[in-house]
Amino acid sequence: MSTSDSTPKERYNARLAAQIEAKWQDRWEIQRTFEAPNPAGPLAEPTKIAGRHKLFILDMFPYPSGAGLHVGHPLGYIGTDVFGRFKRMNGFNVLHALGYDSFGLPAEQHAITTGVHPRENTESNIANMRRQLRRLGLAHDARRSVSTTDEGFYRWTQWIFLQVFNSWFDADRGIARPISELIAEFSSGKRSTGTKSWNEMSSREQKQLVNDHRLAYLADAPVNWCPGLGTILANEEVTAEGRSDIGNYPVFKRNMRQWTMRITAYADRLLDDLDRLDWPESIKLMQRNWIGRSEGARVRFASRAGDIEVFTTRPDTLFGATFMVLSPEHPLVEALTTDTQRAAVDTYRSTASSITDADRQSDTRAKTGVFTGSMATNPVTGKEIPVWIADYVLMGYGTGAIMAVPSGDERDFAFARTYDLPIVATQMPPDSWFAGHGIASTADCTTWPEAFVGEGTYINSRNDNDASSPSSLVLDGITDMATAKRRTNEWLEARGVGQSAITYKLRDWLFSRQRYWGEPFPIVYDEDEMPVAVPDSLLPVTLPELSDFKPQALDPNDEVTDPIPPLARRADWVHTEMEIDDPITGVKRPMAKVRREINVMPQWAGSCWYELRYLDPTNAAAFIDPEVEKYWMGPRHEGHTGGVDLYVGGVEHAVLHLLYSRFWHKVLYDLGHVSSEEPFHRLYNQGYIQAYAYRDERGQTVPAAEVQEREGKYFFDGQQVSREYGKMGKSLKNIVTPDEMYDEFGADTFRLYEMSMGPLDQSRPWNTRDVVGMQRFLQRVWRNLVDEDTGQLTVSETQCPEHLLRALHIAIDGVQRDMDGMRFNTAIAKLIELNNALTKHVEATGSTPRVVAEALTQMLSPLCPHVASELWERLGRTDEITYARFPVADPSLLVSDTMEIPVQINGKVRSRLVAPTGSNDDQLKALALADEKVRIALAGAEPRKVIVVSGRLVNIVA
RNA sequence: GCCCGAGUGGCGAAAUGGCAGACGCGACGGACUCAAAAUCCGUUGCCUGAAAGGGUGUGUGGGUUCGACUCCCACCUCGGGCACCA
């Protein structure tokens, strides 16, 4: 925006905005305006808390990217800032801070290519992000801006890891307990140690037994090995295509010994407590699906190789189980395979192992499988059924084996048809099902085109003619699935061939990474090669310096070479001496040689608990003072989960971060370290800012900023280009940065524009061209209060005319409610309407009544705090607008003497009439029928019915 | 394939059973200016009409209701999640 000589000196434009914004940002910093008092601990100021409600609002932890911010990033930050500022003006003690999730792969990859230490790179990125965000005027408490890479922070990440390591899950009570209590139960004999008694066990055996119960444990498990990144990944970090979420490298399944967290122990609580959270239903659903709880039964089928156990959600269809299918990797396959089938089975198994996950998941693939040659006994029918192997049965779910009920399961049906296996109906489908498929109703499945899945009367489901015999199971005639399932489970349990069971899709959480830039594990290995906690007094275990950050050079497709983590290169660091506490007795041992853990934690570790550290960032004695935690996060009432009052962030963290942090929080809760059961009580997903991108005829993206629009077509450099729509990003050449907005319009206009575009939870396209509307609005507000040429206030102390006062209070009422509901776009619309009404008054009288000037300024303050603060000061107010009470609407000014009532005939508006406020229904009816337009429209016809909605509308049915 | 969510002017959107399109952008007309930019004022869903006015209109088709963008059923399109989970 150019500023020529003719522009009034005191016009509100980018130049003036920049001055005002810098002035107030400096002042807020000096006066420490946004520091929130704590009830206890190092930041305690108890007197400032008395009589105030608290509010803890939180933005999702950002990674300090080297690319800097674009205008999409701050959307949520502005939203929480506006909400927090509004709540401050309503008396709340608001805690709002922003820290940095600064460990992670990008800085390490950058270090590998440039040789710059990840710490240096990370710190300069954080400095740049802080600068960009400070310019936005966010009301953050700067004291609380922690980074996960700070030693003072990851000391406590390590401490929490040790809390998890030093606890076990007591399934009877459904909670985590200290590992010392498990050891006491083992040594006293209260809890069985298996075949060998505790005292007969060697020290190594005791440690192994205990380790197998820890919530953080080492396990040989199939892991996602990504040679391209030189590390393994959690299931959640692998895409559906079998590639890495970061970098899109191939991922291979293989067995490795890794740190694992027993999140599956918490599956039920993680699932059940979703009901107690104020989260979007879609996110709850995604978590429910990810946890994937299925209720059913485990059933054992006898075979010559021993019992084959299956998991099924439909034990009620057991009578229809006409064959079994094992995963090709199932351990019993070897023993079940007969000599005649050996060659076919071996061929199938080797083919199956060479097929990638991606191919195996292709939905167009036909069912394949091979008969093992062995039979198994269906426990309810006593019949011998063939045992097959097929790759549609996965080793990773249930028991890796299924009973196939082709009449009731699509996959089994397809398999049975392919290999001509018998299909027996156990439920009679309703007539409508047959009609829908155009076939006659029959229990003979040979004509069925597909399996029947649903409720139907049970048939062919009895194993004894005498239904009263205790040995019989009779389902025939039952019409509901729940009863049939219950009966079957009872029968299975009584006969000892099965029992009801629950399985989950959720797997334990793979917690180690073979990288450098992460938290080192506070773990060493003792003389038995058993993991032992580093004593608390030696925390933090800091990262040793390295001269070269490259992981071993691996081809992205090399799936055989083992990973060697970068920390292994520092042999002097790995092999050290330490006075550890005995993992069984807890007694301090003399100095002895130990070997350090060389893996590091995944990036999720820090983000699993950062919100707690915001609350007490400088506490050196504890990760958080219990009183501070209770104040900010404690449950609000009986049955309340506690947690952050408002958590705003993108939907992309629906399962990863939000599930992991809930898990850690619950462990901390069980161990008595926090009073809240959940970390985030209310979750709000902001939408994304998207942008148009343009490509020329070769398919190359061209700079979006230089594209011209003419008659609905788009041109770059004279050539027509095609338009597409997507995320803002470097590759699409459509980035707009906050810095450009600051230069062109100022931070307040930018904030206002982002909030006015639409509801916060919706994605929308960025349009730089539209920003000017909010600039004009602020300019008009400014001009209504300040003379553009002289800078003099144009505010009058005289009475405000009633119509303007009414407009003011209607605006106050609406804005108050919109802000409370985070509908900032409609709040802004109401403020514009008020200002438009004010503009008419100023045009007529030359000044703004003080009452309107002050209230308008206050209402603007959460949205555009700099210009509001400046106007507040110019209005002669010496108090801080940040804490000035938000205006309150006078109810008597919200109603006027008259009201306009629309009159409909058959639901279409034909007239409007003005009636005195408070007119009763009969009066409205009479007025409506007497109305000139109504009489013309009715043309003498007698209305059949007249509906009066009190005080709102009249509808005449003609 | 299964499960969610969304479809309203040229564009971003508002109205959640009671006046469809608040508010903003753009466009058009005007004021100011030597001129342009900036700023200000006015008009602006579509069709029809000189105008007053009339008709029509919230993805499509049906239903409930005195009255439907809003509730119900079916379908279409787009976006997201999951995907052989037994």
Interface pTM (ipTM) of the complex? 0.95
Which residue's alpha carbon is at the shortest distance from the C1' of B79? A763
A571-606 pLDDT tens trace: 999 999 999 999 999 999 999 999 999 999 999 999
Torsion sign, CA atoms A673, A676, A678, A680: negative
- The whole-number average pLDDT for the span A537-560 is 83
Q: Tokens 């109504």 — which residue?
A: A934
For residue range A266-283, what is the model confidence (pLDDT) as tens digits? 999 999 999 999 999 889
The continuous run of DSSP H or E covering A748 comes out as helix A747-756
Residue A728 falls in which region: left (phi positive, over 0), alpha (psi -120 to 50) or beta: beta
The overall pTM is greater than 0.90: yes
Q: Is A173 exposed, middle or buried (0-12, 13-18, 19+ CB in 10 A)?
A: exposed
Q: Which residues pair with residue A764 across a beta bridge?
A: A689
Nucleotides on strand B lying under 7 Å from protein C-beta: 1, 3-5, 11-15, 18-20, 22-26, 36-41, 66-68, 80-86
Cβ atoms within 10 A of the Cβ of A384, count? 13
A828-844 pLDDT tens trace: 999 999 999 999 999 98
Q: Is A5 a residue whose pLDDT tops 70?
A: no
In this model, does residue A757 exceed pLDDT 50?
yes
Tell me the DSSP string of A379-448: TTT--EEEEEE-TTS-TTSTTSEEEE-TTT-HHHHHHHHHHT-----SEE--HHHHHHHT----S-GGG-
- Six-digit token string for A403: 């009973």
Any strand B atom closer than 7 Å to A826 CB: yes
A367 touches strand B (CB under 7 A): yes
Interstrand relation of A323-326 and A384-389 (parallel, antiparallel or unpaired)? parallel
Lowest mean pLDDT among A522-526, A927-931, A940-944: A940-944
| Nucleotide closest to residue A836 (CA–C1') | B23
The DSSP letter of residue A645 is: S
Residue A905 has pLDDT above 90, yes or no: no
Residue nearest to nucleotide B27 (CA to C1'): A711
Q: Which residues, listed in sequence order, are joined to residue A912 by a DSSP beta bridge?
A: A902
Determine phi and psi for A776, rounding to 5 degrees: -65, -40
Given a cut of 80, whether residue A129 has pLDDT beyond it is yes
> What token pair was written down for A269?
């609580």
Report the 3 state secondary structure along A463-496: CCCCCCCCCCCECCCCCCHHHHHHHHHHHHHHHC
**Contact present, A911 and A931 (Cβ < 8 Å):** yes
Residue A449, class by beta-carbon neighbours within 10 Å (0-12 exposed, 13-18 middle, 19+ buried)?
Answer: exposed
Whole-angstrom distance between the N-terminal and C-terminal Cα of chain A?
60
Q: In whole angstroms, what separates CA A553 from the centre of its chain?
A: 34
Cβ contact A2 with chain B strand, < 7 A: yes
Q: Is the CB of A947 under 7 A from strand B?
A: yes
Nearest nucleotide to A775, CA against C1' atoms: B24
- A818, closest nucleotide (Cα–C1'): B14
Euclidean distance between CA atoms A148 and A610, whole angstroms: 8
Of A residues 229-258, those with CB within 7 angstroms of nucleic strand B are 240
The Cα–Cα gap between A925 and A904 comes to: 11
User: How far apart are the C-alpha atoms of A779 and A207, rounded to whole Å?
Assistant: 72
Q: Is the CB of A190 under 7 A from strand B?
A: no
pLDDT of residue A929: 85
Which whole number is the average pLDDT over A771-777?
95
**Which residues 869-908 on A are within 7 A of strand B at the CB atom?**
900, 902, 904, 906-907
* Mean pLDDT in residue range A385-395: 93
The model's pLDDT over A228-266, given as tens digits with 9 standing for 90+, comes to 888 887 777 777 777 787 778 888 877 788 999 999 999
Across A298-324, average pLDDT: 95
Copy the structure tokens of residue A490: 């009872």
Q: What are phi and psi of A428, to 5 degrees?
A: -90, 115
Radius of gyration over every alpha carbon of chain A, rounded to an integer in angstroms: 35
Render pLDDT for A788-834 as a digit per residue (tens, 0 to 9).
Answer: 988 899 999 988 999 999 999 999 999 999 999 999 999 999 999 99
H or E stretch covering A661: helix A656-670
Which pLDDT belongs to residue A364? 58
pLDDT digits (tens, 9 = 90+) for A64-88: 988 889 999 999 999 999 999 999 9
What pLDDT shows up at residue A1?
A: 41
Measure, in angstroms, how far nucleotide B65 C1' is from residue A125 CA.
61
Distance in Å, residue A771 CA to nucleotide B50 C1'? 40
Task: Check pLDDT > 80 for residue A847.
Answer: yes
Distance A826 CA to B45 C1' (A): 21
CA of A260 to C1' of B57 (A): 60
Residue A640 has pLDDT above 70, yes or no: yes
Query: CB of residue A945 closer than 7 A to nucleic acid strand B?
Result: yes
Q: Which residue intervals of A116-256 are DSSP H helices?
A: 118-134, 151-165, 179-188, 203-211
Residue A190: partners with Cβ closer than 8 Å, 6 or more residues away: A184
Evaluate if the CB of A288 falls below 7 Å from strand B: no
Q: Is the pLDDT of residue A772 over 50?
A: yes
Q: How far apart are CA A650 and CA A398, in angstroms?
A: 33
Nearest nucleotide by C1' from A504 CA?
B85
Cβ of A685 near strand B (distance < 7 A): no
**Contacts of A343 by beta carbon, 8 Å cutoff, 6+ apart:** none
H-type alpha helices, A213-280: 267-272
Check pLDDT > 60 for residue A57.
yes
**10 Å Cβ neighbour count for A7?**
14
A488, A475 contact by CB (below 8 A) = yes
pLDDT score at A433: 83
- The two tokens of residue A589 are 């041992």
Q: How far is the CA of A437 from the C1' of B74 (A)?
A: 19
pLDDT at residue number A911: 82
pLDDT score, position A861: 97
Are A93 and A36 contacting, i.e. CB atoms less than 8 angstroms apart?
A: yes
Work out whether strand A427-428 and strand A457-458 pair parallel, antiparallel, or are unpaired.
Answer: antiparallel
Q: Give A754's pLDDT tier (boundaries 50, 70, 90).
A: very high
- Strand nucleotide closest to residue A651 (CA to C1'): B80
In chain A, positions 415-474 with C-beta closer than 7 Å to nucleic chain B are none
Q: Which amino acid is at A421?
A: L
Look-up of token digits 């925390």: A539
Q: pLDDT band for A126, please (50, 70, 90 cuts).
A: very high
A772 touches strand B (CB under 7 A): yes
pLDDT mean over A163-170: 97
Q: CA A438, C1' B5: Å apart?
A: 34
Scanning residues 485 through 544 of protein chain A, those with a beta carbon under 7 Å from any atom of strand B turn out to be: 503, 505
Check if residue A767 sits with its Cβ under 7 angstroms from strand B: yes
pLDDT at A2 exceeding the cut of 50: no
Q: Across all residues in chain A, what is the average pLDDT?
A: 90
Structural tokens at position A876: 């002669």
- Distance CA(A146)–CA(A418), nearest Å, equals 60
Distance A486 CA to B56 C1' (A): 60
- The answer to whether A510 touches A232, Cβ cutoff 8 Å, is yes
Per-residue confidence (pLDDT) for residue A287, from 0 to 100: 94
- The pLDDT value recorded for residue A3 is 46
- pLDDT number for residue A561: 78
Give the span between the Cα atoms of A869 and A881, in whole angstroms: 6
Closest residue to B37 measured CA to C1′: A2
Residue of A24, A13, A16 lying closest to A866 (CA atoms)? A24
Query: What is the distance in angstroms measured between the alpha-carbon CA of A957 and the sugar C1' of B34?
Result: 64
pLDDT tens digit string along A325-364? 999 989 999 999 999 999 999 999 988 877 655 566 555 5
